[in-house]
Amino acid sequence: MKKSLFVCSLLLSLAMLTATGAIAASSQKELSLNINGSMANGQNPIVIDNVTLVPIRTVSLIPNLKVDLDNKTKTVTVTESDTKNKLKLTVGRNSVYVNDKKVYVGVNPIVKEGAVYVPFRLIGEALNAKVLWNPDTI
C-alpha cells in the first residue's frame, strides 16, 4: 500500500513538473512542483535538452525517500525507505547506479548557483514510479 501511495504521489509530482525545453524557454513561465497534493514553491526546476532537473533538496521533500549528498565527491545517493532501492548519481558523470547496476543518462547531474540539480524523471523511474508529463499545466 505504501509503495502504491509513493508511486501515485511521485506520478502526480512528475506530471506537474516535467515540460519540454522549448515550451519552458518560450513561455518563461516557472515550472511548478506538486508533492502529495502540496505545492513545493521555490524549488526552481530547470530544463536542459528536454530533461527536467531539480535541486536535490526537492527530492528530499518526497516521502519515503532518503537523500544523502557527499559534498567532497558531489555524489548523491537516494534510497527508497520501503524497498531499499538505491540510486547513486555523481555531478558531471553520464552514468548512474541503480541498485549497483550502471545505467547511462542523457543529461548529467549539475551544480547551478551552489545547488546540485538532478534529472527528476530518472529519480522516479529508477525507483519504479510511473512518470508522466502533463502539458496542460504549463
Instruction: Retrieve residue 92's grid coordinates.
Output: 558531471
The CATH number given to whatever domain includes residue 38 is 3.30.457.10
State how many domains the chain has.
1
- 135 located within any domain: no
The C-alpha cell that represents 64 in the structure block: 519515503
12 vs 14: CA distance, rounded Å:
6
Q: What's the pLDDT score for residue 58? A: 86
Residue 134 included in any domain: no
CB 80 within 8 A of CB 65: yes
Per-residue model confidence as pLDDT tens digits over 110-138: 999 999 999 988 888 887 765 656 666 65
Intervals of the chain under pLDDT 70: 1-38, 40, 129-138
Range of the domain at 77: 2-129
| 138 domain residue, yes or no | no
**What amino acid occupies position 2?**
K
Q: Is residue 137 part of a domain?
A: no
